Amino acid sequence: MNAVQTSPAAAHTMPLSHLRRTSRPPRPAQRIVLTGFMGSGKSTIGPLLAAQLGWHFIDLDHEIERRTSLSVPELFAQRGEAAFRKEETAALAALLGSANTVIALGGGAPEILTNRLLLEQTPATVVVHLAAPFATLAARCTQQAADPAATSRPLFADPIAAQARFASRQPLYRRLAHHSIETANLSPAQAATAIAAAVAARLARA
Ligand code: S3P
């Protein structure tokens, strides 16, 4: 051990500069959590990032659907947004136990204080915000809504209300994230590579 060995009595009289803090070894990231508004590419970029790292990928919305046996639109229609948020928190708490995993959140998860605390307090968890202007996100959501295979988004049904949610969520996304990546001019593969590089650089600095 490099830390200065000293008795408690001697430590009392020594200047603090003589004591070296024993720093904890950096803890490698065990999970990367992708956050951002609807259409930011979390569910597209997430699997590419997981493949690059040789990790698992889990989409929080899919986990909610698995746990409730309802699709997200069915859950909103049958039980309302508040019930959806409770299921979302329960699913997130369960998923944060997984290692070597990329997790894509739903766009509204950071609105809930419990979710933010879970993300902040789970060790070895790196949160990455996928950022893009509202116009870009709206165009992507509109395009995806035309695809019958894509899950529809109950909260994008009213674009004016969606824009208000976008504005109110920006500070939450930014405060929660360790990294923010602008995705408007990146392909999903480029975004995945940029995230992997940012997380690796973070670990190298730790
Ligand atoms: C929501 C975003 C959706 C889904 C649900 C609510 C939101 O996920 O969780 O419809 O509040 O922004 P995506 O961000 O993956 O579309």
**Domain presence at residue 3:** no
In a domain, 28, yes or no: no
Q: Which residues, including other chains, have CB under 8 Å from residue 119's CB and lie 6 or more apart?
A: 33, 92, 96, 110, 125, 127, 176
In a domain, 1, yes or no: no
Ligand 1 neighbours, Cβ below 6 Å, are: 38, 42-43, 61, 72, 106-108, 153-155
Report phi then psi at 101, rounded to 5.
Answer: -135, 135
Backbone torsions φ then ψ of 13, nearest 5 degrees: -100, -10
Distance 38 CA to ligand 1 centre (A): 6
Ligand 1 atom nearest to 108, measured from its CA: 11
pLDDT of residue 206: 75
Strand, coil or helix: 76: helix
The answer to whether residue 78 is domain-embedded is: yes
**Listed residue (65, 36, 33) closest to 46, CA to CA:** 33
Domain count, the chain: 1
Q: In the block, which residue shows the tokens 């766009």?
A: 107
pLDDT of residue 121: 96
154 inside domain = yes
Closest atom of ligand 1 to 151 CA is 16
What local confidence, expressed as pLDDT, does residue 2 receive?
36
Probe residue for ligand 1, chosen from 40, 72, 144, 153 as the CB with the greatest number of ligand atoms within 8 Å = 153
Quote the ligand 1 centre to 90 CA distance (angstroms).
16
Q: What is the CATH number of the domain that holds 129?
A: 3.40.50.300
C-alpha 85 – ligand 1 centre gap (Å): 10
The pLDDT of residue 7: 39
Q: pTM value? A: 0.87
Is 24 part of a structural domain of the chain?
Answer: no
**DSSP secondary structure string, 3-20?**
SPP--HHHHHHS-GGGPP
Question: How many residues are given for the chain?
Answer: 206
Q: Residue 205: its pLDDT value, please?
A: 83
Q: Digits of tens for pLDDT over the chain (206 positions)?
A: 333 333 344 434 444 444 444 555 557 889 999 999 999 999 999 999 999 999 999 999 999 999 999 999 999 999 999 999 999 999 999 999 999 999 999 999 999 999 999 999 999 999 999 999 999 999 999 998 888 877 789 999 898 999 999 999 999 999 999 999 999 999 999 999 999 999 999 888 87
Asked whether residue 31 is assigned to any structural domain, the reply reads no
Range of the domain at 155: 42-205
Ligand 1 center from residue 185 Cα (angstroms)? 22
Residue 8 lies in a domain: no
**DSSP of 113-164, one letter per residue?**
HHHHHHHHHSTTEEEEEEE--HHHHHHHHHHHHT-TTSPP-GGGSSHHHHHH
